[in-house]
Structure 1
Amino acid sequence: MNPGLTRQLDIRPLSVTGYLQCDDGVIVGRRSDWVEQNPGEWEFVPSGTVDPSSIDPDGHVDFQRALLTELGEEIGIAEDQVALPLEPFVIVEDHDAMVTDVVLRGHLRASAASVMSAFDALRNREYTEIMVLPLTSVGCGCPVALTPVSRAIVKAAVNET
């Protein structure tokens, strides 16, 4: 996404991010070095732009569908591994990237080991690696460099407790 163009046209792409817990914590991924925004930083996964396949017949955005699609593409987790429905959590405005990010939270019916195994089986990866952060480390000084959007998600999670 070209932030200069989005500013010039006064438009904002819409993205979706998951704040998803498995049995052992929340899932984050290290962004590839080839991405335009925040290369090498960590973010909550899955995360991606809402595309036309997530628009229902009435013209409404199905954020849950968008997130489930991203979850399969980015870490290889199937929909039957997700406790549905996912819950809207927070909206984050990424002013640098000029993107509005809708964050959904929920639980996976999976251990960290099974999440890692699903990711390892992927051939085309958007992340160089993923990890599961214990919830205690998210709220009191995350051990990895998070993207601005993910830092905002942490802030919302901490403020909620």
Structure 2
Amino acid sequence: MPAFLDTDETPHNLAHDLQGWHCEELHPDVRLIVNETEPTLTPDIEHRVQTIWDDARARRPKLFNGRIFCMKSITPDCIEGYWTEYRRALAQMADPTIFGETPLHQLAVCGLLRCADGIVLARRHPASLYLGDFWQSPPAGTVEMRKEGQRLSLADQLLAETEEELGLMACEVSIGPPRLAVIHARTAIVDIGIALTTPLSFAALREKWQAGGNKEYDQLTVISDDQLGNWCRRKDVIPTTRILLNTR
């Protein structure tokens, strides 16, 4: 059964994003299978998707319509789905009802990074397309087709996000198995929570982030184990991160 997150005390301005998220446990050897074709859109929905995409591109010319993985079904040991265009996912973030009773379940990886000084958290840039100003456990990002024909691997996806967002190379981190899937209530995004560690100090990690990370986050912080309870209760922490902190 899904474990629903208690967000009764969420302020009104945040409730739109944080109520009703739920969590599914995953087996460590969960498999990803691509065997579904992407849904065909009606002309009306296609027009709406393209309009939202064009408006977003006008504001953010660097947006790229890459191929992303969407979940069709999930069990503790298997996630099945299909590749589709990012513009469809962006349209759903802008209008969660656009696909009616069959929303996209865009798959994402979300790390829980422990460095030598504690667990690393990052604040999403205020100008982010989604959940700006919220704190989360980095790295995190959409599962995407990085090379045509490349084997789909959650660990590889997380390593790529680690380098892009934090400037850390694969040799500087160790990645654990998938632990859970957290489904966003409004956008239907599915975060796959995965623990990872680095021997680096927070100061060294922050330096690498400043030198080589992208602009996904505007702040990094590190929290010790005795601070976890306070962070789990904060209402500006993304539910996926709150659940990961509670089940570390």
**TM-score of the two chains, using structure 2 as the length reference:** 0.56
Task: For CA contacts below 8 A with separation 6 or more, give which structure has more relative contact order.
Answer: 1
Structural mapping, 1:126-145, within 5 Å: 126-138=216-228, 140-142=229-231, 145=236
**Secondary structure in 2 matching 1:12:** coil
Q: Residue 106 of structure 1: CA displacement?
A: 2.0
Tell which deviates more after alignment, 104-113 or 47-56.
47-56
Matches within 5 A, 1:31-110: 31-53=124-146, 57=150, 61-83=152-174, 85-110=175-200
**Identity percentage over the alignment?**
22
* Deviation per residue, 1:12-60 (Å, 9 max, x gap): 00000001111111111111111132211100000000001278645xx
Query: What aligned pairs does 1:12-31 form with structure 2 within 5 A after superposition?
Result: 12-31=105-124
Structure 1 Cα separation of the partners of residues 196 and 131 of structure 2: 25
3-state SS in 1 of match to 2:164 = helix
- The change in CA–CA distance for 1:132 and 1:54 in structure 2 (over 3 A counts) is farther
Check 1:57–1:36 CA distance in 2 against 1; reply closer, same or farther (3 A cut): closer
Aligned length: 153
**Gapped regions of structure 2 (runs ≥ 5):** 1-89
Which of 148, 152, 155 pairs up with 2:243? 152
Unaligned runs of 5+ in 1: none
- Structure showing greater radius of gyration is 2
CA deviation after TM superposition for structure 1 residue 71, in Å: 0.5
How far is 1:136 from its partner? 2.2
* 3-state SS, counterpart of residue 162 of structure 2: helix
How far did 1:130 drift? 0.9
Which position in structure 2 is the counterpart of 1:122? 212
TM-score, normalised by the number of residues in structure 1 = 0.84
Displacement of 1:148 in angstroms is 2.2
Q: What secondary structure, in the 3-state scheme, does the structure 2 residue paired with 1:110 have? A: coil
Deviation, structure 1 residue 111: 0.8
Counterpart residue identity of residue 108, structure 2: S
Q: Cα–Cα, structure 1 residues 39 and 82, in superposed 2: closer, same or farther, change >3 Å?
A: same
Over aligned residues, Cα RMSD in angstroms?
A: 2.2
Once structures 1 and 2 are overlaid, which stretch shifts more, 100-109 or 88-97?
88-97
Q: Residues 54 and 27 (structure 1 numbering): CA distance in 2 closer, same or farther, change over 3 Å?
A: farther
